[in-house]
């Protein structure tokens, strides 16, 4: 076994790079309109097919935080972490039916625009600023950090060199606009699925060779259950199981996945409905399409989402058993850093033990996931800044050409900021947990004002503003005053408090009348055609199958 990449691996990666770059260049010059139209640049209006929309959503979703962070939490917590993917798939079906009609029928292109149309300009501006800080300081930064960490482990190059490489690669994809991002993401998804499944197959085969009799993949699966039965639980009880925290200590697994309470209080649903339904980064791909195309695209994304436990969770479980059994010295040394067990090292270290050639394929898959996610996030940052801040407060009369040009400048600036901050994330123990927890400071308030704004006609601007502003300080208060409360339960608690505050203020202000800015909703919007219903049934059946297999 040789650590690092061989010449063949770099050749395979170079082929991937050339294909993506060439296809992106072709799309830029031959797909859709050629003028400098801001809607074409930010939304690829009318240009994306359903399969491009679905693939792009998953390419942006499945990035370093999944490959590295979620595999790390599979190493740390076990099978239970797949609940994010299973609930995510179901959430996408609900979003396709109920959220998309509200956006598309009302010609919503950005999330702040929804807030301005439904509530008022104050709330839209505050949330636009919040989203910019969140996307740059938490999401974009963490993707660069985890991506560079994984590339560093695979190639042996320095962290900053890897971070700069990923950033520059993503910048070139992003500058082409959403049209280029959407269609190149199809290639990225093919790479990450094929490369990811190949990595899973070989990880289980390696586990069979090192710990078992060498009988193959199915023996590897049975060995996980035999050697790490506690890692096969889907529900944790408080004090039942303590795991490595990535900082040299142990943490109660219940604090990260608090059993049934995360469903009863709603923390797990808040994560997914907010992430996929109220997040410019995710929903933007569908906003430029007609409703049937957008729905089919989101449904396709739900189907792909349910494949992710096989791609990102199983390798982490295999790495855990190999580590616990001390079956491979390279894995033990790679996961342990100065005698501290680092769960986030599990996936990149596992990639290093793949055969030459397959390393290159897995390297391309990982890079595809990281770059696609960076490109989508940066485009959303640019969209919100230009359409919801710059055009409203700096230069309302800016031309279409200048809008696109400054949008590209905003992309470059956001990448520079995130790149500069990314090294400081090494002080956090587990990357996926970091993303979920700190995004969760604002998620409860956001989901509250979106849900009530969509489906309750009395929801008022002042009630929404109070809920939005309350979310962060209340989350912070609970984090430090009730430190034993799991962050998912904290999100659920904050959400319901925000709902009570929003409803109370709205009722006082409305005096029994609907808000004049409430959307005129037609029930026919939520009806679906037969092909969508068949597809949704297939996704739900796949969800049940995946759950049964993993359980």
Nearest to 285 by CA among 99, 47, 67, 112: 47
In order of start, what are the domains of the chain with their CATH numbers? 7-20+50-430+530-550 (1.20.1730.10)
Alpha helices in 306-399 (DSSP H): 308, 314-324, 329-335, 346-351, 358-385
Cα 411 to the chain's mean position, in Å? 19
pLDDT tens-digit readout, 249-269 = 788 888 888 888 888 888 899
pLDDT tens-digit readout, 364-411 = 877 887 888 888 889 889 999 998 999 888 888 888 888 889 999 999
Burial class (CB in 10 A: 0-12, 13-18, 19+), 111: buried
In sequence order, the 6+-apart residues with CB closer than 8 A to the CB of 521 are 102, 454, 455
Cross-strand bridge partners of residue 188:
none
Q: Confidence class of residue 545 from pLDDT cuts 50, 70 and 90?
A: confident
Answer for the pair 464, 123: CB distance below 8 angstroms, yes or no.
Answer: yes
Does the pLDDT value for residue 119 go beyond 80?
yes
Answer for the pair 114, 450: CB distance below 8 angstroms, yes or no.
Answer: yes
Cα 253 to the chain's mean position, in Å? 22
Dist CA 139 CA 64 (whole Å): 11
Answer for the pair 318, 224: CB distance below 8 angstroms, yes or no.
Answer: yes
pLDDT tens-digit readout, 153-166 = 778 888 899 999 99
For the chain, counts of helices (H) and of strands (E) = 28, 4
Q: How many residues are there in the chain?
A: 551
pLDDT at 535: 87
**φ and ψ of 158, to 5 deg:** -65, 155
Average pLDDT, the chain: 85
Does the pLDDT value for residue 63 go beyond 60?
yes
Neighbours of 297 (CB within 10 A): 26
Task: Note the pTM of the prediction, 2 decimals.
Answer: 0.87
Does the pLDDT value for residue 1 go beyond 50?
no
Q: Confidence class of residue 431 from pLDDT cuts 50, 70 and 90?
A: low
pLDDT tens-digit readout, 269-282 = 998 999 899 988 88
Dist CA 379 CA 315 (whole Å): 31
Dist CA 42 CA 380 (whole Å): 8
In sequence order, the 6+-apart residues with CB closer than 8 A to the CB of 309 are 82, 85, 86, 546, 550
Does the pLDDT value for residue 298 go beyond 90?
yes
Q: In the chain, what percentage of residues exceed pLDDT 70?
A: 94
């Amino acid at each position: 076994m040789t650590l690092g990449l061989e010449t063949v691996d770099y050749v395979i990666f170079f082929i991937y790079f050339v294909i993506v770059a060439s296809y992106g260049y072709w799309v830029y010059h031959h797909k859709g309109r050629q003028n400098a139209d801001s809607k074409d640049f930010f939304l690829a209006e009318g240009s994306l097919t359903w399969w491009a929309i679905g693939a792009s959503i998953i390419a942006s979703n499945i990035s370093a935080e999944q490959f590295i962070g979620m595999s790390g939490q599979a190493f740390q917590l076990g099978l239970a972490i797949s609940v994010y993917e299973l609930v995510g798939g179901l959430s996408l079906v609900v979003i396709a039916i109920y959220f998309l009609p509200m956006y598309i029928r009302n010609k919503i292109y950005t999330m702040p625009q929804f807030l301005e149309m439904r509530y008022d300009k104050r709330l839209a501006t505050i949330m636009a600023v919040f989203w910019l800080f969140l996307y740059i300081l938490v999401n974009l930064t963490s993707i660069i950090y985890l991506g560079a960490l994984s590339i560093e482990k695979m190639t042996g190059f320095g962290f900053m060199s890897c971070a700069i490489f990923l950033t520059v690669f993503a910048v070139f994809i992003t500058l082409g606009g959403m049209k280029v991002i959407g269609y190149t993401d199809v290639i990225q998804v093919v790479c990450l699925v094929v490369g990811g499944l190949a990595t899973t197959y070989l990880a289980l085969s390696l586990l069979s060779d090192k710990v078992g009799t060498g009988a193959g993949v199915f023996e590897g699966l049975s060995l996980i259950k035999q050697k790490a039965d506690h890692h096969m639980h889907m529900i944790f009880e408080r004090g039942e199981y303590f795991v490595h925290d990535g900082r040299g200590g142990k943490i109660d697994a219940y604090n990260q996945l608090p059993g049934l309470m995360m469903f009863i209080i709603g923390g797990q649903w808040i994560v997914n409905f907010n992430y996929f339904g109220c997040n410019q980064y995710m929903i933007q791909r569908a906003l430029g399409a007609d409703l049937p195309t957008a729905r089919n695209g989101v449904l396709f994304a739900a189907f792909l989402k349910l494949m992710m436990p096989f791609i990102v969770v199983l390798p982490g479980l295999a790495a855990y058993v190999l580590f616990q059994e001390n079956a491979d010295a390279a894995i033990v040394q790679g996961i342990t850093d100065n005698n501290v067990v680092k769960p986030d090292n599990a996936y990149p270290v596992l990639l290093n033990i793949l055969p030459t050639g397959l390393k290159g394929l897995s390297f391309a898959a990982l890079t595809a996931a990281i770059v696609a996610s960076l490109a989508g996030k940066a485009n959303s940052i640019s969209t919100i800044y230009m359409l919801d801040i710059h055009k409203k407060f700096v230069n309302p009369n800016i031309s279409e050409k200048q809008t696109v040009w400054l949008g590209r400048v905003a992309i470059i600036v956001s990448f520079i900021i995130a790149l500069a901050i990314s090294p400081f994330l090494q002080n956090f123990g587990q990357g996926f947990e970091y993303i979920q927890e700190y995004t969760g400071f604002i998620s409860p308030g956001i989901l509250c004002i979106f849900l009530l704004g969509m489906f309750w006609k009395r929801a008022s601007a002042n009630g929404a503003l109070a809920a939005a502003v309350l979310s962060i300080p209340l989350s912070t208060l609970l984090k430090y005053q009730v430190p034993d409360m799991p962050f998912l339960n904290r999100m659920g608690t904050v959400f319901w408090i925000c709902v009570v505050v929003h409803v109370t203020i709205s009722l006082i202000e409305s005096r029994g009348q609907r808000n004049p800015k409430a959307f005129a909703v037609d029930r026919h919007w939520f009806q679906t055609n037969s092909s969508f219903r068949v597809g949704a049934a297939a996704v739900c059946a796949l969800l049940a199958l995946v759950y049964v297999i993993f359980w």
